[in-house]
Structure 1
Amino acid sequence: MKFFLIAGEPSGDQLGAALMAGLRELAPDVEFMGIGGQAMAAQGLDSLFPMAELSLMGIWEVLPKYRHLKRRIAETAGRVVAESPDALITIDSPDFCLRVARAARDQRPGLRTIHYVAPSVWAWRPGRALKMAEVVDHVLAILPFEPPLMQAAGMTCDFVGHPIATAPVAGPDHAALFRAGHGIAPEVPVVLCLPGSRGGEVGRLLPRFGETLTDLRHHVPEMQVVLPTVTGVAAQVRQMTAAWRVRPLIVEDPDARRGAFAAADLALAASGTVSLDLAANRVPMVIGYDMAPLSRMLVGMLLKTDTVTLVNLVSDTRAVPEFLGRDCRSGPMAEALRRLLDDPAARQAQMDAMDLTVDRLGRGGEAPGLRAARSVLRAVTEPR
C-alpha cells in the first residue's frame, strides 16, 4: 500500500508523522512519499522539496512567491500522478494542498483523496466545504462537531481525535521546578500572557495585553507575568515589553513553557488552539483578539458563530470570556481576569468546561494518529 502525503506547516508535519506511525503499525508494508518536515522525515519520508517553502501566512507573504508556488503545485501534482498512490493525503494548508488535489484529479480522475483537518466552516465561509468536496473524498476531523458538516457537503468524515487529548501534560513537580528555577514563591499568582506566535498578531495584541496586565496588577500587585514565546517572534516580544510597567518573565524553551503552563493560575491569551493547551493544563483563561481593520470587517460580516474559542465550542458552553475586534480592550479584559481570581463559581465553570472539552477531544482513548490511520485504511478499502 502506498500513500502520498503533503504537509505545509509544522503542526501538519506533527499530524502527518503520527498518521505515518499509525499506518505502519496497522500495515507494516506501507510506503510513503510526498512533502513534509522533520517529524515526517523521522518516520521515513523523503520530502520532494523543503516543507518550509510552503509555510507562508498572509497575502503579502504569498504574492512575491506566487509563481514559484504555482510551479510547486504543478510539480507536486505531476509526481502524485506518476506515483499512482492508493490515496493522496493532504494535511491542513488548504491553499496549497487542495490546489494540488484538484490538479492531480484533473489528470487522474479516479485518484482517492483524503484531507486531514477540516476547514473551519462552522465559523465562517461555509461554502468552502462544498468547494472542497469537488476534490476530496474523505476528511479526518479533529473536532467532534465537524463530521456532520463535512458529510452534508458530500464527503465522508471521521472524527479521529485532537492531538491535545494525548499530549503529555506537566504536573505539580514541573510547576514547583519552574517556580523554584525562576525565584517565584509558591503563593505568588502566575499569570500567562500569550499574544500569539506570528509577528502581526503579536504587534496588535501585545500593547493591549500589556495595558490589561497593568490594570490587573492594581488588584494583584504580587503577581508574576510569564510570557511563553517562540523563536520567530522572541526578539519582537522582548522589544515590545521592554518598557512595560509589569515586567514579564519571557521563556522560549519548550520545557520552560510546559513548566509555566503547569505553574499558571490564570492566562490572557490570543484566540486559537492555545485555548486547548490551557484547557489540558486546567488554566482558567480570558481570550482577546483583533485583526487589521479590513480583515476585521470582512470576518465580522462572514462569522457564523457567537464564539470562536474552541473550549466554548467543544464544551457547548460560553464559560471562557472572549473579547474580539473592537471589544479587545484592557478594561473589560482586566475585569474578566479579576472575576476569575475572585469568583470561585466562574473559575469552576471554566474548569468543568475545560475538562469536558479535553474528554470530548479524545482523552483516555486511542491515540489520534492510530485512529486517523484506521480511518484512512477504511477509506481506501471501502467501495466508493
Structure 2
Amino acid sequence: MTNPPPEPPLIFVVAGEPSGDFLGARLMAALKAETGGHVRFAGVGGEAMAAEGLTSLVDLADLAVMGFFEVLPKAPVILRHLKRVEAAARAARPAALVTIDSWGFTGRLHGRLADVPFPRVHYVAPMVWAWKAKRAATVAQRVDHLLTLLPDEAEAFTRHGLAVTQVGHPVVEGGAGQGDGAAFRQSHGIPLEAPLLCLLPGSRRMEVGRLLDPFRAATERLAASRPGLQVVIPTVATVADSLKQRVAAWPWPVHVVSGAEARHGAFAASFAAIAASGTVALELARAGLPHIVGYKVSPPSAFLYRRLRQTELVNLINILLGRVVVPELLQEACTGPRLAAALEALLADPAALAAQRQGADAVMARLGGAGAPPSRRAARAVLQLINAKETA
C-alpha cells in the first residue's frame, strides 16, 4: 500500500491594506510558480489576493486606516479582527506566517503569536528611516526574517540580529507601463480627442473622504481650459460603489474603474494624474504619467507626524532621489487651487517633466534589484525558511 502524497504546505499570509494586497497577490503567484502549485494559502487579503485563491478571514477595508487619531474609532473592530486572525493562525499551524506591511496590525499579530513555533516573515520594512527608528528592535524581536523592498534598508535591522533579504519592489514587474490607452478609451466610450484626467484619491475610505473634494476642486480649474474634459478614477472594489455615488453629480463624465488592467489602461489614456501618496504613485512613475501628489490627514495626526518624521517628503520617488521631482501638496497646501496650479506648472515646464521621467527611471532601476523578479525572490526566501525549519 502506497502512502498518500504529502499535503501541500499551508502559508498564512496577512495583508492589512490594499497596497499589501497587491504585494500579497504577486507573492502568492510567485509561490505557486516556485512550487508548481503545490502550496495552500489562508489569511487576510483583498480582491487581488482573492483572485489568487485566498478566502480572506476579514474584510480588508476594516483594517485599512491611516492616521494616529483616525484609528481610534475603529480600534474595537480592529482588535476583534486581530483576535480572530490570531486564533485562525494558531488553529491552522501553517508552515510559515507571512505578514505584509501594516506593522501597526501585523506587528501586534506577531507579538501575540510569539509562542507558536512556525517561521515568521514580515514583507516590507517599517519605515524606521523616516520615523520611529526604535521600531527596528521590536521588529527584530518579533519576526525571523524581513523582506525589504528598498535599497539600504537592511542595516537598521541587521544591527539587531534580524536576517534580511532585499527582494526589490514588485511594481517593476507589474504592467503599469503597459496599459492600452486606445482600448481603454474605446471600452469606456471616451473620444480620442477628449482630455482625460486621472484622479487617485486613495484606497482607504478615510483617504477618499478627505481627498475627493480638493481633487474635484482642482479638476474644476483644470477643466476650464480643457473643453470636453473627462475624469477617470481607478480604485479598489471596497470603495468603488461609494465613489460612484459621490461623483454622480460631477459636471464631467467620470469613469470609476477597478482592477489592474483597467487601472493601467487609464494611466495610458490620461494626460496627467493627481494622486494620494503610496504604491499607486510608484505605478504612475512606472507608467511615465505626469503627476503630482496631494495628501492630508486630520490636523491632530498631522501635528504628530510633523514631530516624529525624520524627512519632510512623503513620495517615495522624491525620498529615494533626495529631491523633489513629484510636487507634493500636503495638509494645508492640499487645496483645489493649489493642486491645479501645481499640475499646470508641471505640464507647462518641459524641464520639470523631463526631471520627473528621469528621476522615476532611476528609482525604478534601484527598486528592481538584480536577478529574478522581486516577487520570485520573495517567494524563494519564504520557501528557504520553511525548508530550513523542516530539516532542522
Category of TM-score, reference length = shorter chain = 0.7 to 0.9
Is 1:106 equivalent to 2:115 in the alignment?
yes
Q: CA deviation at 1:157?
A: 1.4
Partners in 2 of 1:97 and 1:262 — Cα distance? 35
**Is 1:69 the equivalent of 2:88?**
no
Identical positions, percent: 39
> In structure 1, what is the equivalent of residue 345 of structure 2?
339
Q: Secondary structure at the match of 1:250?
A: strand
Cα distance in 1, alignment partners of residues 235 and 303 from structure 2: 28
Structure-1 residue corresponding to 2:98: 89
Paired residues of 1:177 and 1:259 also in contact (CA < 8 A): yes
Aligned residue pairs, count: 375
Shift of the alpha carbon at 1:40? 5.8
What are the within-5 Å matches in structure 2 for residues 177-216 of structure 1?
177-216=183-222
Q: Which consecutive residues of structure 1, in runs of 5 or more, have no partner in the other structure? A: none
Backbone CA RMSD of aligned residues: 3.3
Q: Deviations over 1:308-342 (max 9, x none)?
A: 10121234431000011111122322221112221
Report the counterpart of residue 275 of structure 1 in structure 2. Answer: 281
Deviation (angstroms), 1:26: 4.6
The 10-residue stretch of structure 1 (364-373 or 191-200) with the greater mean CA deviation from structure 2: 364-373
Q: Secondary structure at the match of 2:12?
A: strand
Identify the residue that residue 309 of structure 1 maps to in structure 2: 315
Shift of 1:28: 6.0
Structure 1 residues 1-384: aligned runs within 5 Å: 2=9, 4-9=11-16, 11-23=19-31, 25-26=33-34, 32=40, 34-37=42-45, 50-52=57-59, 55-58=62-65, 59-60=71-72, 62-65=74-77, 68-69=80-81, 71-72=83-84, 74-76=86-88, 78-79=90-91, 83=93, 85=95, 87-106=96-115, 108=117, 112-169=119-176, 171=178, 174-245=180-251, 247-254=252-259, 255-362=261-368, 366-379=372-385, 381=388
- In structure 1, how many angstroms separate the alpha carbons of the residues matched to 2:204 and 2:181? 27
* CA distance, structure 1, for counterparts of residue 205 and residue 374 of structure 2: 30
CA distance in 2: counterparts of 1:119 and 1:243, whole angstroms: 40
Report the secondary structure of 1:168's partner residue. Answer: coil
Return the offset for 1:132: 1.4
Distance between the aligned counterparts of 1:218 and 1:53, measured in 2? 38
Change (3 A) 1:144 1:178: same
TM-superposed deviation, 1:185: 4.4
TM-score, normalising length: structure 2: 0.82
Deviates more, 1:20-29 or 1:160-169: 20-29
CA distance in 2 between partners of 1:24 and 1:53 (Å): 23
Gaps of 5+ in 2: 1-7, 66-70
* C-alpha distance after superposition, 1:113-162 (max 9, x if no partner): 22111112233222222211111121111223422333244322122121
Q: CA deviation at 1:222?
A: 4.9
For residues 249 and 364 of structure 1, do their structure 2 counterparts lie closer, same or farther at Cα, with a shift above 3 Å needed? farther
Contact 2:19-2:279 within 8 A present in 1 as well: no
Change (3 A) 1:318 1:331: same
Provide the secondary structure at the position in 2 that maps to 1:307: coil
TM-score normalised by the chain length of structure 1: 0.83
